Chains A and B, each alone.
Chain A
Amino acid sequence: MVDTEPEAAQGEAEAPRVGGRVQSVIAGAIPVALGAVAAWLSFGLNIGSLTEPGPGLWPLIVAGLLVASGIGIIAVTAKTRRDTEAFTRGTAAVLAAAGGLAVYASLYEIVGFEVPTALLLFAWLRLLSRESWLTSAVLSVAVTAVAYVLFIIGLNVPLPHLIAF
C-alpha cells in the first residue's frame, strides 16, 4: 500500500454512479467463463450417470446453471436497467488495501504479528483514512498492544509473536 490518489480520499459523490453497459456485460460474462471452466474441469472428474452419480456430475450441473444465468444476465441487462456500480478512483484504494493485507498475511509467519499489525494499521490510518501522523502513530501502537493483550494473553490464541513474557 504505497499511495492512493488524493481525490479518492476526498470522496466521490454519496450515491455511487451506475456502471456502463460494458460493465453490465462483464457481469454476465464472468459467470459464463467461470461455468465453462468448471464444466471443463468436471469432465476431467468422473461424471457417472443419474443412477450412479460420479464426483463430476454435481459440479457439471452447477456449471450449467452458472453458464445459463450468465447468458441470462447478458440478455437482460443489454436492454433493461443497469444495476452495477461504476468503478471510481476509490477502487485504487481498495486494491491498495487488499495488496497491503496480502503483504501483511505473508509477513505473519516470518516476523510475528506485532510489527506487521502496527505497520498495517499505521499505513491504513495515514494513507487510506487520512488521519494525522500523530493519531495514526498512537492508534496503531495502541491497537496492536490491545490486540496482543486480548488475543495472546486473554484468549490464548497461538499467534506467531516476537515479544514473549
Chain B
Amino acid sequence: MDFSSVLSGFAVAFEWQNILFCLLGVTVGMLIGVLPGLGPAATIAILLPITYNLEPTAAVIMLAGIFYGAQYGGTITSVLLKLPGEASTVVTALDGHALARRGEAGPALGIAAIASFIGGTASIILLSFIAPALAGVALAFGSAEYTILALIGIFLVGTLGNGSIIKSAAAAAAGLLLATVGLDPLMGTPRFTFGTDQLADGIDFTIVAMGLFGVGEILYNLEHRNRPQTAVPSFGRAIPGRLHWLKSRLAILRGSVTGFILGILPGGGATMSSLVAYAVEKRSAKDPSRFGKGAIEGVAGPESANNAAATSSFIPLLTLGIPANATMAVLFGALMLQGITPGPGLMSDHPDVFWGVVNSMYLGNLLLLVLSIPLIGLFVRMLKVRPGVLAPITVVITMIGTYSIRNNAFDMLLVIGLGLLGYGMRKLGFEPGPFVLAFVLGSLLEASFRRSMRIFGGDVTEFVQRPVSGTLVAILVLTVVVVPLLRKVRTRQTANAEQSGVTAE
C-alpha cells in the first residue's frame, strides 16, 4: 500500500467542500433510509444529473454517503415502528422493535448507531489493505478474465437477489439485450436502433437507472401508497447502558467480519449480510430463545454487518470495475459520467479520487454517529411527510434531471417507458437489480467475450485452460455451490421476519 497516496487521500477528504458534500450525502442518505419507498439506488440515480457539474471526488463522496447513510436511517424506523426503511434493516426490526416496546428504544438505537459505526469503520480499514492487493492482481487480467468476472458478477447478483433465480436470469438477459442497442462496440454496425439517430449512441446508463429505479419505484408505490400512520413510541436518549454494550460487543465484532466478507460478494451486500449475521448471533447465543423478544445482540450483529457490507461492496467496483449490487451499478454510472473508468487502474490513475472517497467514509461514519443520536427525533418527524406529496416532487426532479443530460425530450420518454417496464417487472415478479447490473456490464461482457473468442480461435475450452481465467471459472463453479446455502439462510430468516409481521419495502 502506498502510504503517501493514502495520506493525500485524507487531505482530499478533509477539503471543506468535500466535507460539506459528505455531510450532505449522509444526511440525504439517512433521510431516505427513514422514508420508506425510495431506496438508495433510486435516490442516487435521480441525483446523477445534478452531479454532472460537480468535481468527480465530491460527487462520488456525496453519492457514497447516501448509500451508507441509508443503512443508518433504515434502522430508525425498523426499531421504532417495525417499518424497515431499507431491506437491509428488516432483521433489525425483530429484536429492535421488541426492545422498543419494552421501553428500551433509546439504547437499541444507540447500540445500532455504535454497531454501524464500528462495522463501517472496520470495513474501511480492511478495504484500505485489501483493495490495493486485489487491484494489483486484476491489472494482469485480460479479456478472458473479464468475461468470466462479469459472468460471476451477473450470476451472483441474479442468484443472491430477492427474486427467483430463473426470473433474475431472464431479467439479466433482458438487460444484456438492452445494452446491445446502439453501435456494435467492435465494428460500428448499428443494432436494434430501429432507424432512429436517437438510439445510435445506445441508451445512456443514467436513463436506465433513473427509469427503472426512479420512475419505476414511484409508479410502483403509487399503487400501494396508503400506509397507516403509526404512533411513534417515545425513546428517550439514544445512549446505551454499560450492560447493553457488554452484551453486544462480541456481536458487533462478528457482525463486522460477516458483513465485510459477504459485502465483497456481488449480490451479497447489506441485506444478505444482515440476515446471515442475525443467524450467526442466534446460533452462537447461549439462550437462542431470547431472540425475537428483544435481544440486543440481534440489533448489534446485523447493524454492524450491514454497514460493513455497504462499505466492502465498494471493493469489487473500485478494484475490478464490477459493481456488486444495484447501488454500486449506479455509482459505476456516476464514475463513468465523470470520465473515470472504475477498475484496477483507478487507484493508480486517480489516486485522489480513490483515496479521497475511501477516506471520506471515516468522516461520513463519524458524522452519522454524531448526527444519528441527537437528530433521531427530527428524522422520525419526517415520516409525517405524506408519500403522496413526495412522489410528484420526486418525479419532477427526475424529469428535469433527465432532460438536462442531453437536452433531449426523447430521453424523458425513454425514462417514462423504462419506468413502466420497471413497474411491470415488479408486478410480474422480476427484480430490476439484475437487469440494471447486466445492462451496465453488457458492453464489457460482450467486448471481452468477442475478443477472447478471436484470441482463442473460437475454442471455448480455452477459458478453462488458461491459469487465471481457469481459476476464475473454478470460483464461478464454487459460487454455484455456496449460493444455495446462503439462500437457505436467507429464506429462513426472512420467514422469521415475516412471521413477526415485518416486510421489506
Q: Do A and B come from one complex?
A: yes
Chain B neighbourhood of A12, CB < 8 A:
223-224
Chain B neighbourhood of A143, CB < 8 A:
392-393, 396
Chain A neighbourhood of B412, CB < 8 A:
101, 104-105, 108
Contact of B454 with A55 in the complex, beta carbons under 8 Å: no
Q: Does B389 contact A (CB under 8 A)?
A: yes
A49 to B453, CA, bound (A): 9
Chain A neighbourhood of B503, CB < 8 A:
15
Contact of A69 with B170 in the complex, beta carbons under 8 Å: yes
A156 to B454, CA, bound (A): 47
Contact of B453 with A73 in the complex, beta carbons under 8 Å: no
Contact of B174 with A66 in the complex, beta carbons under 8 Å: yes
Chain B neighbourhood of A82, CB < 8 A:
429
Contact of B427 with A84 in the complex, beta carbons under 8 Å: yes
A90 to B427, CA, bound (A): 12
Q: Does A76 contact B (CB under 8 A)?
A: yes
Chain B neighbourhood of A57, CB < 8 A:
450
If over half of A's interface residues share one DSSP class (helix, strand or loop), that class is named, otherwise mixed; here it is helix
A72 to B165, CA, bound (A): 10
B409 CB to closest chain A CB, in angstroms? 5
How many residue pairs between the two chains, A and B, have CB atoms under 8 Å in the bound complex? 199
Of B167, B392, B409, the residue contacting A106 (CB under 8 A) is: B409
Contact of B391 with A155 in the complex, beta carbons under 8 Å: no
A83 to B173, CA, bound (A): 19
Given contacts A101-B416, A117-B396, contact A90 B428 (CB under 8 A): no
Contact of A73 with B170 in the complex, beta carbons under 8 Å: yes
Of B170, B404, B409, B429, the residue contacting A84 (CB under 8 A) is: B429
Contact of B393 with A91 in the complex, beta carbons under 8 Å: no
Q: Does A43 contact B (CB under 8 A)?
A: no
Chain B neighbourhood of A121, CB < 8 A:
392-393, 396
Contact of B388 with A105 in the complex, beta carbons under 8 Å: no
A149 CB to closest chain B CB, in angstroms? 12
A50 to B455, CA, bound (A): 11
Chain B, interface size category, equals 35 or more
B260 CB to closest chain A CB, in angstroms? 31
Contact of A27 with B457 in the complex, beta carbons under 8 Å: no
Closest to A93 in B: B222
Pick from B64-72, B97-105, B185-193, B464-472 the stretch touching chain A. B185-193
Number of interface residues of A (CB under 8 A): 79
Q: Does A26 contact B (CB under 8 A)?
A: yes
Given contacts A125-B388, A147-B400, contact A73 B167 (CB under 8 A): yes
Q: Does A5 contact B (CB under 8 A)?
A: no
Contact of A108 with B180 in the complex, beta carbons under 8 Å: no
A6 to B143, CA, bound (A): 56
Closest to A104 in B: B399
Q: Which residue, of B224, B426, B454, has the highest number of chain A Cβ atoms within 10 A?
A: B224
A27 to B458, CA, bound (A): 35
Q: Which residue, of B170, B180, B191, B423, has the highest number of chain A Cβ atoms within 10 A?
A: B170
A52 to B392, CA, bound (A): 50
B48 CB to closest chain A CB, in angstroms? 13
Contact with B along A38-78 (1 / 0, CB 8 A): 10010001100111111111110011011001101100100
Chain B neighbourhood of A155, CB < 8 A:
50, 53
Given contacts A55-B184, A139-B389, contact A120 B396 (CB under 8 A): yes
Q: Does B449 contact A (CB under 8 A)?
A: yes
A55 to B180, CA, bound (A): 9
CB within 8 Å of B: which of A112-161?
Answer: 113, 117, 120-121, 124-125, 128-131, 135, 139, 143, 147, 151, 155-159
Of A10, A49, A51, A129, the residue contacting B389 (CB under 8 A) is: A129
B168 CB to closest chain A CB, in angstroms? 9
Q: Does B232 contact A (CB under 8 A)?
A: no
Contact of A62 with B226 in the complex, beta carbons under 8 Å: no
A60 to B57, CA, bound (A): 39
A31 to B430, CA, bound (A): 11
Given contacts A14-B224, A23-B428, A159-B404, contact A70 B170 (CB under 8 A): yes
Contact of B393 with A109 in the complex, beta carbons under 8 Å: no
Of B409, B429, B453, the residue contacting A83 (CB under 8 A) is: B429
A87 CB to closest chain B CB, in angstroms? 6
A113 to B399, CA, bound (A): 10
A114 CB to closest chain B CB, in angstroms? 11
Contact with B along A1-40 (1 / 0, CB 8 A): 0000000001110111001000110111011001100100
A72 to B164, CA, bound (A): 11
Closest to A57 in B: B450
Given contacts A46-B189, A94-B222, contact A19 B170 (CB under 8 A): no
Contact with A along B208-244 (1 / 0, CB 8 A): 0000000100011011111110000000000000000
| A-B contacts, 27 listed (Cβ < 8 Å) | A14-B227, A15-B503, A23-B428, A27-B167, A31-B174, A38-B192, A45-B189, A54-B187, A55-B187, A62-B176, A65-B173, A69-B169, A70-B170, A72-B170, A73-B166, A83-B163, A83-B429, A85-B427, A90-B222, A94-B420, A104-B399, A105-B413, A121-B392, A128-B222, A135-B389, A147-B396, A156-B53
List 7 additional contacts besides A55-B189, A101-B399; criterion CB under 8 Å.
Answer: A34-B174, A56-B191, A57-B450, A91-B223, A93-B223, A125-B392, A143-B396
